[in-house]
Amino acid sequence: MMYQYQESLPKLPLPTLAQTCDLYVQMVAPMLTQAELKQTQGFVEDFQAGVGVKLQQQLEMVANSTKTSYVHDYREESFAEYRGILPINKNFGMILSPIAQPELPVSRLCATWIVDTLKFYLKIKHRELEPDRDSPRSGNQPMCMIQYDNLFGQNRIPGIKRDTMFKGAPHADEKEHIIIIRNGAFYLLQVLQGDKISAIATIEQQIDGILANPHSPELAIGALTAIERAPWAVLRQGIGALSPENARNLELIDSALFVVCLDNTKPTDLVAASKNMLHGDGRNRWFDKPLQLIFTDNGISGINVEHVGLDGYVILRYIYEVNQERKAGASSPEQSEKADSTLQSTPATKLEWKLSPEIEQLIQSAQTQVDSFIAAHETLVLDFQEFGRNFIKQQRLSPDGVVQMAFQLAYFRLHHKIDCVYESIHTRRFKYGRTEAMRSLTSESLELAKTMTSDADSQTKYTALQKAVNAHVARQQAAQKGYGVDRHLAALLRLARAQGINPAMFQDKAYKLLGESPICTSSVATGMGIDLFCFGQVIDHGYGIGYIIEPDAITVNVTSKYHQTGEYISLLRESLQDLAAVMKSSTPPH
């Protein structure tokens, strides 16, 4: 069932060289002076008439011969070759919505999530998960399901030059386990044998035992997953070599289905909760794991995702399915308790480490590095309650388009220019499709920003808004069909560098600007059980903007390296209000 449409999915299309070069010039034009644009056009023409032809022919051979897509292998390699820090920079976080039911103890809440997550895992394991489909407005097309096999039982293994992915494959009768982290200590829970899931009450009892442990915070080995990859690779090898027990502990963490983090903290607002899910204290975590479930002492729940092998849509489906189980459990507690009571209940097993004084000192140094890294970042939340998707749709405009225009308008007001804007667009309607980088800055959106900050009348501003949103939607639709710029050009550049070729087009200022996205944005759908979506900026002078457009509200999480985040949030609120005023003052077409 899960893969019933997989072989019939089309391959990701390879755009022609002319298509991509023409769109590339359109994308970079708003960021360049006339002289710079003329120079860029010359480089592009030389590339199209010269080495670009050879590279395109080579890429066509790759596209025709691969079973995946022409970008798949290099994209996977680029993820694995990243040598920086995972939390904030790469991993993303989410705050999960509470389910309407009596106040639960943290151990009960956690146990319920674990059991319902295991039910979802079994659907994947037995290929019983219904295939995803695109939105009705996009034709309800079946989508690629490959990424679901990267959610459970995997771990990112650090390497000196590049990372690798561990994937466990248990036998049918083998007990599968999860890892729970509390105060930096690791505990193993056997929760699944074959298709038999431990009962909620059993898991709750085991978690209560962990929470009752009076031990003070331990030396945080988990903090090592929050430092740069090469040093962590060396330390991991060193820790594993110290004793067979250490090597076995690492294997158990690698092969765990997922990690549960029991945080000794009590966030009191959205900002504090966002920070907790995005990075926490950097200690009570294992950032190499694709899925970490996080629970605070006051019952706030969330997740942190390492997404080398998966994107947000997979996580959305997982959360939605678990929430359906939780709602069913809330209305029928007896039903939710149904699990196999024949599984032997054993206390959680604490993993014991044998560390040398040298390794302990290096771990302490890593903790200090992580503290400094986290302290260099600021996260703030705009909880905008004045309007949402419904109001914008009444104006016959795209909700995402309008919100994206607000992001650009706020940036223009703060910095008196608009730089490159990134919006993640899925391409999962294609086999092995993941995402395309949509570049939301257009000549129309730049004109809108200038018009909105002028003394033009409301009708002129509304007309500019319409044009900008329409241009946004057109570019969005092209990206979803596989006709973006970033993936194609990056594949051509990778081929060129592998052959010692260094085209001038890729040394140009325009290509550098395209690769830097001060405004990096991504959204998640409403109604999926998520209250907040958070991730970090992709460059030091930028913003990471995660947003959810609710029917009557808009929630925006902004993270930056203290790059006037508060001012940006304030101007974003003002920009949304101003765009609403423009929409209200004009009559939408019938």
With a pLDDT cut of 70, the percent of the chain lying above it is 94
% of the chain residues with pLDDT over 90: 85
**Are 460 and 366 in the same domain?**
no
Instruction: Quick: pLDDT tens for 262-321.
Output: 999 999 999 999 999 999 999 999 999 999 999 999 999 999 999 888 999 999 999 999
**First-to-last C-alpha distance (Å) of the chain:** 43
- Show the tokens assigned to 13: 């299309």
Q: What average pLDDT is seen over the chain?
A: 92
Residue 360 pLDDT greater than 90, yes or no: yes
Residues 453-499 have pLDDT tens digits of 999 999 999 999 999 999 999 999 999 999 999 999 999 999 999 99
Q: What's the pLDDT score for residue 102? A: 55
Of 360, 375, 390, the last residue of a domain is 375
Q: Are residues 237 and 98 in the same domain?
A: yes
Strand partners, 437: 424
Where residue 117 sits, what CATH number does that domain have? Answer: 3.30.559.70
CB under 8 Å to 268, separation ≥6 — which residues? none
Total number of domains in the chain: 2
Same-domain pairing of 272 and 326: yes
Residue 99 pLDDT > 70? no
> pLDDT for 163-184, tens place per residue?
999 987 554 456 799 999 999 9
pLDDT in tens, 362-394: 999 999 999 999 999 999 999 999 999 999 999
- Express the helix, strand and coil content of the chain in percent, nearest 5 each: 50, 15, 35
Q: Residue 577's domain is classified under what CATH number? A: 3.30.559.10
Per-residue pLDDT at 134: 86
Distance (Å, rounded) from C-alpha 226 to C-alpha 533? 20
Residues 86 and 73 in one domain: no
Q: pLDDT value at position 588? A: 55
Q: Which residue has the tokens 């958070």?
A: 534
Per-residue pLDDT at 335 exceeds 80: no
The confidence score (pLDDT) of residue 328 equals 77
Q: Are 533 and 548 in contact (CB under 8 A)?
A: yes
Position with higher pLDDT, 97 vs 569: 569
Position 2 in a domain: no
Residue 440, in any domain of the structure: yes
Last residue of a domain, one of 375, 400, 415: 375
Instruction: Domain of residue 501: give its range.
Output: 16-77+378-585
| Alpha helices per DSSP H over 135-212 | 200-211
Check whether residue 136 and residue 117 sit in a common domain: yes
C-beta separation of 300 from 150 below 8 A: no
- Asked if pLDDT for residue 346 goes beyond 90, the answer is no
Q: Dihedral, CA atoms, 102, 106, 108, 111, nearest 10 degrees? A: 140
Q: What is the pLDDT, as a whole number, of residue 213?
A: 83
Strands 554-560, 291-296: pairing is unpaired
CA distances from 186 to 153, 219, 398, 420, 428 (A): 16, 11, 47, 42, 36
Residue 425: pLDDT band (50, 70, 90) is very high
Give the amino acid at 130: E
Co-location of 280 and 387 in the same domain: no
Q: What is the pLDDT of residues 499-527, one digit of tens each?
A: 999 999 999 999 999 988 999 999 999 98
Domain boundary among 375, 401, 427: 375
Q: Are residues 387 and 369 in the same domain?
A: no
Q: Do 189 and 326 fall within a single domain?
A: yes
C-beta of residue 151 within 8 angstroms of C-beta of residue 291: yes
* CB contact at 8 A, 554 and 576: yes
Q: Which one-letter amino acid corresponds to residue 134?
A: D
Residue 325, both tokens: 């189980």
pLDDT band at 106 (very low <50, low <70, confident <90, very high): very high
Q: What is the maximal distance between C-alpha atoms in the chain?
A: 75
Domain check: are 303 and 218 in the same one? yes
CA distances from 112 to 93, 103, 106, 320, 326 (A): 20, 13, 10, 15, 7
